[in-house]
Amino acid sequence: MSRQIAIVEDDPDQRDNYADALAAAGYSVKTYGNRAEAFAGMKQNLPDLAILDIMLEDEMDGGFDLCRDLRAIAPKLPIIFLTARDTDIDRVSGLRLDAWDYLTKPVNLQFLAVRVSSLFRIVETLHTETAELEAIVRLGPLQLDPNSMSVRWDSHEVNLTLTEFWLVQALARRPGHVKTYENLMQVTRQSYVERNTINGYVRRIRKKFKEVDPGFSMIQTVFGVGYRWQPE
């Protein structure tokens, strides 16, 4: 059975071009022209991957809003932003919403198909690791449950985004082991990640843990290399 891709694009010509290219690559494609129609359709029939424009009809940030809605019902859904907005602020905003990629228009249709294929390979790799990754991690005061995507610290819930969850999971599974920046870039499942982006994620993670435990210091910086979870 072919993978199903949802395309949300308000320009009918671009929408048809993307759909034709991905259909030619062997995917089943469903298209939408606005946020409300897209969310209603995907809520009823969730695709395997979604491609979203940001500006949708009269909604300047319609794609961002749709991404938030989708994350609420499908935290693991691979999402690509494909947009004419190419500022760093927009790119960072998209990745903070846990998009897997951020592409700017005009895009080479062959590259788009290859990038989608690459993300599906990542999905397949994740599925092969399911048994290990779905095991609940208990490490001192930390309890991390991949099934519910929840994190607790000394009985207090820590509200992490999907990417933040993945980073904590990667660090906590091997306490004392250094995760390099390159390792952590792969953990985010994103194609556009710099060291400063990883540092920003870690700062936010530390802040959220310190909100429930001001003395939290389990994530150690290994300067110039990456981070590690403090061993017991």
Q: What is the mean pLDDT of each run of 10 residues along the chain (232 residues)?
A: 92 96 96 96 95 95 95 91 92 86 93 91 68 72 88 93 91 91 85 84 96 95 93 72
pLDDT of 192 reads 66
**Domains along the chain with CATH numbers:** 4-128 (3.40.50.2300), 131-229 (1.10.10.10)
Contacting residues for 226 by C-beta, under 8 A, at least 6 apart? 178, 179, 180, 181, 182, 183, 184, 198
DSSP one-letter code for 59: B
| Distance separating alpha carbons of residues 115 and 153, to the nearest angstrom | 37
Q: Are strands 49-52 and 79-83 parallel, antiparallel or unpaired?
A: parallel
For residues 204 and 121, give the distance between their C-alpha atoms in angstroms, rounded to a whole number.
29
Residue 187 one-letter amino acid: V
Q: Are 220 and 165 in contact (CB under 8 A)?
A: no
CB 43 within 8 A of CB 73: yes
What is d(CA 188, CA 96) in angstroms, rounded to the nearest whole number? 11
- CA–CA distances in Å: residue 117 to residues 3, 20, 54, 134: 10, 15, 22, 25
Q: What pLDDT is stored for residue 227 in this prediction?
A: 96
Candidates 187, 215, 191; CA nearest to 99 is 191
How high is the pLDDT of residue 66? Answer: 97
What is the per-residue pLDDT for 15?
96
The pLDDT value recorded for residue 126 is: 64
What does the pLDDT read at residue 109?
A: 95
Which pLDDT score, from 0 to 100, does residue 129 have? 55
Helix (H, G, I), strand (E, B) or coil at 7: strand
